[in-house]
Copies of this chain bind each other. A is one copy, B any other.
Amino acid sequence: MYSVQKVPPLSPYFCQLCGKKGGWGARRWRSTIAGVSLAFSPESATPQGGRRGVLTLPHGVVQTPVFMPVGTAATVKAVPQGVLEELGAEIILANTYHLYLRPGHELIRRLGGVHRFMSWPRPMLTDSGGFQVFSLAKMRKVSPEGVEFQSHLDGSKHFFSPEHSMAVQIALGADIMMVFDECVETPASWERTRDSMALTHAWAERSKQYWMEHRQEVPWAQEFSGHQALFGIVQGGMYADLRRESAERLVEMDLPGYAIGGLAVGEPREVTREMIALTLEHLPKDKPRYVMGVGYPDEIEEYARMGVDMMDCVLPTRAGRHGLLFVREDPANRSSPVLRLNIKKLEFAEDQRPLDEDCGCPVCRRYTRAYLRHLFASGEPLGAALNSIHNLAFYFETMQRVRGEL
């Protein structure tokens, strides 16, 4: 859908899209920290609101607002890389925690970084491992220095500090890495949230320091120009004053981009929306703004219209593996409400229609609901794969519409 291009080194004089000296792109870009090869150009508001941008990263260009599929263990579960390319995925995530434990970041570094390891030539982003340490690992001991935890795989003991998270992410070599943060439990008191936020800010400073000194050390430094970008993560729980303080504190650090973390953790959706809206007000307009771990198709559309540039979520693939499929209520009207089909229901047993009659994905072009129901009911692995592919296509189409491409 989009071609991937090798991006020349950032220059304030040359447009990185057209390649011409003083081209339109050159005027819109800014190097947020000297030498950071990340350029963000919010071109214009999208037809439905929000903003339309282009992220230029070492491994290619990303049209924003963008939805990023999650490839936890260097694979978007059950979906081959070629299919992701065909669907138009321009950037995917990988999870630092998982890859650190298995196969190990040093192995991935020796093999040339996560792009080469998984044969994914387009941009990638790694999280810091913080969220997984707090949600997956057994036994956690948090100190100002970092977190001691036990692997959920084999119970082995590990220690993550901000410096160690950066070192692991540099070895993985994604285009964008994230500061190491503490994720507070939900619900949490104001005092608990404030203390956790303070720790996150101290860790962000240490993450930045390590990144500044080592960001050139990516495994692909010889092949691709540019280096990794580091994004900060705004915390502050469900407290408006803390969210604001966190945003202001991080903006002072002048990082290439900012994420809003600690949302979609069980709070009502109105609260999520409110926290996003008030945090966005305190984030710079000329840098990418990323809401982590959201959401349903109508949510990602809504947040994109509010001015969010990047989102990621396991939902399309996880729901697909559980037989939940996203379709439009009125297939001919791609702005109509989103329905969730539970494909295992008997009503689909002889339904010869595609999942979504106006969806152009490879699943809807070839297979019927009846067949997908049969695959799911029989526990056939092809079912999980096809369901995941359709759901991802649905998310990409939603974002294309928000970007005004459809």
Interface check A332, CB cutoff 8 A: no
Q: Contact mask A374-405 → B, CB, 8 Å, 1/0?
A: 11011011101110000000000000000000
- The stretch among A72-80, A251-259, A280-288 that forms the contact with chain B is A72-80
Do B78 and A382 touch across chains, with their CB atoms under 8 A apart? yes
Q: Which residues of B contact A117 (CB under 8 A)?
A: 368, 370-371, 374
Q: Which residues of B contact A78 (CB under 8 A)?
A: 380-382, 385
Do A380 and B73 touch across chains, with their CB atoms under 8 A apart? yes
Q: Which residues of B contact A102 (CB under 8 A)?
A: 374, 377-378
Given A350-B107, A385-B385, the answer on whether A374 and B73 have CB atoms closer than 8 Å is yes
Q: Contact mask A100-122 → B, CB, 8 Å, 1/0?
A: 00110001001100000111000
Q: Could you tell me which residues of chain A, from 84 to 113, have a CB within 8 Å of some CB in chain B?
A: 102-103, 107, 110-111
Q: How far is the CA of A8 from the CA of B73 in the complex (A)?
A: 50
Do A80 and B381 touch across chains, with their CB atoms under 8 A apart? no
Do B82 and A352 touch across chains, with their CB atoms under 8 A apart? no
Nearest Cβ on chain B to A118's Cβ, whole angstroms: 6
Do B82 and A366 touch across chains, with their CB atoms under 8 A apart? yes
Q: Which residues of B contact A378 (CB under 8 A)?
A: 73, 75, 102
Interface check A224, CB cutoff 8 A: no
Given A107-B350, A111-B352, A349-B103, the answer on whether A381 and B118 have CB atoms closer than 8 Å is no
Interface check A362, CB cutoff 8 A: yes
Q: How far is the CA of A264 from the CA of B362 in the complex (A)?
A: 38
Interface check A81, CB cutoff 8 A: yes
Q: How far is the CA of A373 from the CA of B366 in the complex (A)?
A: 31
Interface check A367, CB cutoff 8 A: yes
Q: Which residues of B contact A79 (CB under 8 A)?
A: 382
Nearest Cβ on chain B to A368's Cβ, whole angstroms: 8
Given A117-B371, A119-B367, A371-B118, the answer on whether A362 and B82 have CB atoms closer than 8 Å is yes
Q: Which residues of B contact A368 (CB under 8 A)?
A: 111, 117, 119
Nearest Cβ on chain B to A75's Cβ, whole angstroms: 5
List A residues at the B interface (Cβ < 8 Å). 73-75, 77-82, 102-103, 107, 110-111, 117-119, 349-350, 352, 362, 366-368, 370-371, 373-375, 377-378, 380-382, 384-386
A-B residue pairs in contact (CB < 8 Å), sample of 17: A73-B378, A73-B380, A74-B371, A75-B382, A77-B382, A78-B381, A80-B385, A82-B362, A102-B374, A103-B349, A103-B370, A103-B373, A103-B377, A117-B368, A119-B371, A381-B381, A381-B385
Besides the known contacts A80-B382, A103-B373, A107-B350, 8 further A-B residue pairs in the complex with CB atoms under 8 A apart: A74-B374, A81-B366, A102-B377, A103-B349, A103-B377, A117-B370, A119-B371, A381-B385
